[in-house]
Amino acid sequence: MHSSLIQATSRGPATPETLKPCAKTEADRGSAIVEFIGLSVLLAIPLMYLMLAISMVQASNLAAVAAADQAARIVSHSNATPDSGTSGTRERAEHAIADVMDGYGIAADNASLSVECSGPCPGPGSLITARVEVRVPLPFVPEGVQGIVKTHSETTMLVGEPE
Could you state, in order of their start, the residue ranges of all structural domains in the chain?
30-158
CA–CA gap between residue 28 and residue 22 (Å, rounded): 13
Q: Is the peptide bond before 122 cis (omega within 30 degrees of 0)?
A: yes
pLDDT tens, residue by residue, 73-111: 998 888 665 555 445 888 999 999 999 999 999 999 999
Q: What parts of the chain have a pLDDT lower than 50?
A: 1-3, 85-86
What was the pLDDT predicted at 68?
97
CA–CA gap between residue 134 and residue 123 (Å, rounded): 29
What was the pLDDT predicted at 1?
47
What was the pLDDT predicted at 34?
87
Per the DSSP assignment, residues forming a β-bridge with 157 are 128
Kindly state the DSSP code that residue 110 receives in the 8-state scheme: G
What is the share, in percent, of the chain residues with pLDDT greater than 70? 80
Q: How many CB atoms lie within 10 A of CB 111?
A: 24
Question: Cα(first)–Cα(last) distance of the chain, in Å?
Answer: 88
User: Structure pTM?
Assistant: 0.72
What was the pLDDT predicted at 18?
72
What was the pLDDT predicted at 28?
67
Q: How many CA atoms lie within 13 A of 131 on its CB side?
A: 8
Per the DSSP assignment, residues forming a β-bridge with 155 are 130
Kindly state the DSSP code that residue 126 receives in the 8-state scheme: -
What was the pLDDT predicted at 86?
42
Q: How many CB atoms lie within 10 A of CB 23?
A: 7
What was the pLDDT predicted at 82?
57
Ramachandran angles phi, psi of 113, nearest 5°: -120, 135
Alpha helices in the chain (DSSP H): 31-76, 89-103
